[in-house]
Structure 1
Amino acid sequence: MRKYPLQVEWDLAPESENIEVTPSLLAQSMFFYVQAVGRFKALEHYYTNREQYHSFLLLWTKRGQGRLKYGGKSYSLLPNDVFLIDCKEPHYYETASGVWDMDWLHFNGGSSQSYAELILRNAGPVHALAADTIIPSRLELLLQAQRTKPIHSDILSSKWIVEMLSELLIQSVYKEPDSKDMTCPPYILEIMNEMERNCSAKITLDDLAEQHSFSKYHLAREFKRYTGYSPTEYVTHVRLSLAKEMLKFSDLTIAQIAEQVGYQQASFFIKTFKQREGVTPLEFRKRWRA
Structure 2
Amino acid sequence: MQSEQLFSVSFTPMAGTYLLLYTTEGAGILKTPEIPGGIALSQNSVLLWDCQKPFALTTSMVPWNFFLFFLKGEQMEIYVEIGKSKREYSHDLSQYSPLHQHFRSLLGIPERYSFSDALKMNQLLTNILTDISLPLVPKENTRDANIPSYLYELKDRLDHHFAESFSLAQYEEQFSINKYRICRDFSRYFHSSPLAYLTQVRLNKAKEMLLTTDLNIYEISSYVGYENVNHFISLFRKYNGTTPNAFKQKALGNQSVPHSPEE
Give me the TM-score of the superposition, normalised by structure 1: 0.37
Larger Rg belongs to: 2
TM value normalised by structure 2: 0.41
By relative contact order (CA 8 Å, sep 6+), the higher-ranking structure is 1
